[in-house]
Copies of this chain bind each other. A is one copy, B any other.
């Protein structure tokens, strides 16, 4: 909207948002989460760092936006987390299943999982997804040793995603929410709050 020349940087608008997201995705994939800076993403997109903050907030927020998740896990898991560690395994699993079992979310989520399982996705999961999305859940829950426990939770949840949603192995693919909760909630709860070696 400004009539001043933008000193070689683009003005705001939908194209700017897309350019920032594209630059962010490229940097997160090559430099990992920890190696990515808002300043470098802004430079790649040809905008001021302040504009990146304005559109996307923190680096964590930018990362979640770059993943293009159909839902923000930090938002949908909020109520399940607020009630604390007791029963959190079942509450979080029910949220997870409701998101994945919604047909509108399935394809984008499967695309994301396939991308994360490619060699280029390894850093995104290890340095980004676990640090920004999964790790903070454990901290917010107030469990002990979240850095040891949340990867255990991830190991069961990733496996469930692969067998139920990616490979569609029966009878797991057709089980109801209540059946899955009876099977998997105790496992996840034990990883969250049970004894560790």
Write the residues of chain A forming the contact surface with B, with a CB cutoff of 8 angstroms.
114, 117, 122, 125-126, 130, 147-148, 151-152, 154-160, 162-164, 166-172, 178-179, 182-183, 186-187, 190-191, 196-197
- The residue in chain B whose Cβ has the minimal distance to the Cβ of A171 is B148
- The residue in chain B whose Cβ has the minimal distance to the Cβ of A179 is B197
Q: In the complex where A117-B117, A187-B190 touch, is A159 in contact with B155 (Cβ < 8 A)?
A: yes
A183 touches B122 (CB 8 A): no
Q: Which of B151, B167, B190 contacts A163 (CB 8 A)?
A: B151
Q: Which of B158, B183, B186 contacts A162 (CB 8 A)?
A: B158
B172 touches A126 (CB 8 A): no
> Counting chain B CB atoms within 10 Å of each CB, which of A164, A183, A186 scores highest?
A183
B183 touches A152 (CB 8 A): yes
B166 touches A155 (CB 8 A): no
A187 touches B156 (CB 8 A): yes
- The residue in chain B whose Cβ has the minimal distance to the Cβ of A114 is B117
